[in-house]
Amino acid sequence: MHSSSTHPRSAIWLPIFAGLCASLVSIGLARFAYTPLIPSLIQAQWFSANDVVYLGAANLVGYLIGALIGHPLARRVGNSTALRLMMLAVTLAFFACGFPLSVSWFFGWRLLSGVAGGAIMVLVAATVLPHVPVSRRGLASGAIFLGIGLGIAGSGTIVPPLLSLGLQNTWFGLGLIALVLTAASWFGWPTATAQHAAPVSGDTSNTPTPAGLYLLFAQYAFMAAGLVPAMVFLVDFVARGLGAGAHVGALIWVMYGLGAIIGPVSYGFLADKFGARLSIRIVLVVQAITLGLLAVSSSFLALALLAVILGSFPPGIVPLALARVHELVPNHHQQQIAWSRATVSFATFQALTGFVYSAIFNASGGQHALLFMIACGAIVVALLLELAMRLLKQNQNPAREGVVTAHTYID
């Protein structure tokens, strides 16, 4: 019916839908549905409070492993097959977590779900975006990572009613949702990867990495360190720390989820309007202020508003960082390598700080505010890195700065 040269609309939107399902299952639900489960896991005495916190970090460690093995796996079995396998792995992990056999059993399955999330994060944009017209890629990348936001929001609205059926049935329910989404997206993945396997030109090896890229890797790492406390401890902070109870904690998590839905699209819009670099700066300033306020807030209204702003950050910075990679690196093959490295730096800091925050939390006798202040500090460091880099550049070679790199990372 369609000529071979024109793309039917469904040919564009099916892969985007598959990408959205993948980010929804592997990160949206696999990581974020765990947060509202923390109080119940402790109350039901499945695990001790200390164990539950470390089990949360297992997913973050897995995410790092997944970011590292994503491309090697895809080279072996193909991108689409790798993505399908990872979604199946998450689904299996949900069902397995319904059986609290031991801490190490649980740790292993939480780790596996993290591996799947990391691999999907590295592969999903590279698999889908080459099949999308260039004019729509910003929107498409926002739509793919919207899955993370929907998962966060879904975890806040789906988990409480599931919990009324019991903790085991909650895990089975999440597994069922993952199964349905895996099936729905199964045939949506692009069949050919030829389009983005092609542009590996001979001269890519000796192209210098722009200094702006190293700055992005460092900033992205500190952003990861800055988002962990709210992501892991927000519900517990409201429910137990402020003594507001699990119900209010769940409501605040829904607000966090609302922010997570707004994040990818609004941050993507910012990147289109002001460029990714300035947008990153704006977002970091807002996040630093928000984390500082969270440490000293206790009114429901303030917490709800702060939760929306904090929630926009984890899924929102993904299309933002991806846009920055595309600004700095012209070649598609190199963009994939750069995005892989960015994800690895993000995942490394996320995993390390996951354990560090857990240790500080336990050592300080459960001081939530302390964690939020440390997170605020991490975001401030991300801001200062750019300033330091600009000063370094200006001092190093004021004569040469106008030639090559001025437009890339200097005002």
| Rounded average pLDDT over 160-171 | 89
Output the pLDDT for position 186.
92
Reported pTM: 0.81
Say yes or no to pLDDT of 9 above 70. Answer: no
CA 279/CA 272 separation, integer angstroms: 9
| Rounded average pLDDT over 176-196 | 81
Output the pLDDT for position 152.
83
Output the pLDDT for position 407.
43
Output the pLDDT for position 397.
65
Task: Please name the residues in contact with 101: beta carbons below 8 A apart, sequence gap of 6 or more.
Answer: none
Which position has the token pair 């985007």? Answer: 16
Ordered domains of the chain (ranges, CATH): 10-188+210-396+404-409 (1.20.1250.20)
* Angle, in degrees to the nearest 10, between helices 49-77 and 79-96: 160
> Looking at this protein, which amino acid is placed at residue 82?
A
CA 167 vs CA 97, 170, 247, 326: distances in Å:
10, 5, 16, 43
Tell me if residue 98 falls in helix, strand or coil: coil
pLDDT digits (tens, 9 = 90+) for 212-251: 899 999 999 999 999 999 988 898 899 888 888 888 988 8
